Structure 1
Amino acid sequence: MIDNQSASQQINAILKMNRDWRGETLSRLRTFIQKADPAVIEEVKWKKPSKPEGVPVWSHDGIICYADTLKNAVRLTFPKGVQVQDPKKLFNTRLESNTVRAIDFHEGDTFNEAALKALILDAVRLNMSK
């Protein structure tokens, strides 16, 4: 049963469920997040009947970001996104929110690695400053 598995194993199972470009994108983002912050902790949260596998979450002294696979995108959401410095304007959705910001990655998208690493590290800095 998936609940008895480690968070890493559960995320591996989520990746296998998404056998198309979304799974590949999520896998690339996961690897990138782990490299950007080697102290990151992987978790799976928010299991519910409509999403029994849950949601991959990356934390360091609090949640940095979490990922959702949508029909036409992989969404990386930063719960404290409003406070995160985004000089390269990577955030492209949830812009109306008072707290979160997110990036939707679509099929064939590449990402600015330096800018994304800066977002991740700024989110870590925010968590550690509390």
Structure 2
Amino acid sequence: MRVSALHIGMGTQLKDIIELNLSYQRALSAVTFARMFQKNIICFDDMGIYQILFSIQDQKILSDMYHHLLDTLIQYDQKHNSELEKTLYYYLKYDGSPQKIARSTYTHRNTVHYRIEKIKTLLNCELATFEEKFPYMIAFYIAKMMK
């Protein structure tokens, strides 16, 4: 006998019966999140940025955004057998700390510096401000959803 995992998603608290459909839709988003990220129980309110991403009905928008932002690095990585996409992920995760990036990617700090400069050139973006980094951070959240 095969036992399947049970995933439970909870919507938001109702203020009025008119919001029943909204809470139900949010519960569906939460259960999809729970299934995707192997959580037993998740409340929509605890999903963080994924509240927004899982609420988008047209998933092609998310896929297009991901590809628009990261395809340059993905194609470069495939052509040159490099790890620029992975380096960018850790650059964003560790707020640009070369030491932490090097540790996480098992790479020398000088290689990390070279890769970051290459990423900035390829993306035509300095990745200096929150506004410049944020879309790429979202792209990596989308990538987790697409896997």
Q: Where on the TM-score scale, by shorter chain, does this alignment land: which range?
A: under 0.3
- Which has the bigger relative contact order, CA under 8 A and spacing at least 6? 1
When normalised by structure 1's length, the TM-score is 0.25
**Between structures 1 and 2, the one with greater strand share:** 1
Larger Rg: 2
**Between structures 1 and 2, the one with greater helix share:** 2
